[in-house]
C-alpha cells in the first residue's frame, strides 16, 4: 500500500527489487492501492497503481514469487470508486489485477469485506467460479468475522485470512486461533501500526515493548513485528513500506527470537 506514497516511482521500484534480493517471496497488493498524487512516470508510460509498479520492477517474475491481491473496494466498470458486490464488478476487478500485474493467473485473491451483517456467499462464489476458470489459483478473505469464514469455507477452500492484529490490537485473536486449527494462513495487517491503523506506525509508548526492544538491541517496530510472527507457524507478515532501510529492518525482525519471559511480558 505504501509503494505509491513517494511521488518518485524509483523509490518503490528500489524497494521491490531489494525485497526480492533479500529473499522475499510473498508480495501483498491490491488494485485499489493508488497514488494520491495522480499518474507516475515510471519510464515507459504513466503508472499510479502499486500493481503496475510491481510489474515494471519485477517482470519477468521469479518463479518463487507469490503475488496476493485484493478485490472488493476499488474502481468499478463505470469508472467510479466503490465496493464490488456483483459477479460482473468482481470480474472487472480481477481482470484489472491480471492486466496491471501482467499475469495470466493470480496466485491468490482476497475478498476484502466491509464489516456488517450481510452475507458474502454470492461474492465468494463468484470468485470461486473464476478460480475454476483458471484465473485465480487460491482464494482468501480480508476484514471478516468468524461466521463469514464459515460461510465462505462451505463454498470453496479458504487459503488465508487477512485481518488486523498487533500486540496492542488483539480483537481478532479468535480468528487467528481458528485459522491455526483449520490450517489456514493468518496474515495480519497493522502489525506495526497497531492502534495507529491507517495513519501509520503507532507512536504510543509501551513500556513492555520498549523494555524487550532494549534487551534485544532492536527497535520497537521490530519487536511488534516479531511478536506477531511468534503467534503461530501459520502467521505470515506483510509490513508495508516505501523505504529500503525500513524494508531491511522489517526483514531483520524475522530473525528475532523471544524467550518465554519476553512473550509473557508482551502478552500482559
Residues that are catalytic: 33
If one counts every other C-beta atom within 10 angstroms of the C-beta of residue 232, the result is: 14
Question: Which cell is 136 given?
Answer: 485465480
Question: Which cell is 260 given?
Answer: 518465554
Residue with C-alpha cell 491507517? 198
Give how far the C-alpha of residue 221 lies from the chain's centroid of Cα atoms, to the nearest Å.
17
* Separation CA 156–CA 134 (nearest Å): 14
Helix ranges, the chain (H): 9-21, 50-58, 87-101, 121-133, 146-153, 173-182, 207-216, 220-229, 244-252, 260-267
If one counts every other C-beta atom within 10 angstroms of the C-beta of residue 18, the result is: 16
* Separation CA 163–CA 200 (nearest Å): 16
Amino acid at each position: 500500500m505504501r509503494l505509491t506514497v513517494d511521488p518518485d516511482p524509483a523509490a518503490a521500484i528500489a524497494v521491490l527489487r531489494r525485497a526480492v534480493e533479500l529473499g522475499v517471496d510473498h508480495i501483498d497488493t491490491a488494485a485499489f492501492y493508488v497514488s494520491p498524487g495522480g499518474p507516475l512516470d515510471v519510464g515507459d508510460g504513466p503508472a499510479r497503481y502499486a500493481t503496475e509498479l510491481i510489474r515494471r520492477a519485477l517482470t519477468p517474475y521469479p518463479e518463487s514469487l507469490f503475488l496476493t491481491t485484493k478485490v472488493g473496494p476499488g474502481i468499478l466498470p463505470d469508472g467510479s470508486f466503490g465496493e464490488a458486490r456483483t459477479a460482473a464488478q468482481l470480474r472487472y476487478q480481477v481482470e484489472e489485477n491480471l492486466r496491471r500485474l501482467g499475469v495470466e493467473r493470480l496466485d491468490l485473491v482476497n475478498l476484502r469485506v466491509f464489516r456488517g451483517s450481510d452475507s458474502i456467499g454470492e461474492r465468494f462464489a463468484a470468485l470461486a467460479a473464476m478460480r475454476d476458470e483458471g484465473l485465480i489459483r487460491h482464494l482468501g478473505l480480508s476484514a471478516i468475522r468468524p461466521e463469514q469464514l464459515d460461510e465462505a469455507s462451505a463454498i470453496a477452500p479458504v487459503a488465508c485470512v487477512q485481518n488486523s492484529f498487533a500486540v496492542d490490537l488483539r480483537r481478532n485473536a479468535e480468528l487467528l486461533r481458528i485459522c491455526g486449527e483449520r490450517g489456514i494462513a493468518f496474515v495480519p495487517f497493522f502489525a506495526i501500526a497497531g492502534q495507529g491503523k491507517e495513519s501509520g506506525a503507532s507512536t504510543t509508548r509501551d513500556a513492555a515493548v520498549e523494555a524487550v526492544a532494549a534487551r534485544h538491541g532492536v527497535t520497537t517496530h521490530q519487536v511488534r513485528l516479531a511478536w506477531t510472527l511468534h503467534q503461530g507457524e501459520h502467521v505470515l507478515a506483510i509490513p508495508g513500506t516505501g523505504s529500503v532501510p525500513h524494508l531491511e529492518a522489517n526483514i531483520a525482525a524475522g530473525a528475532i527470537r523471544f524467550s518465554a519471559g519476553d512473550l509473557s511480558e508482551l502478552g500482559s
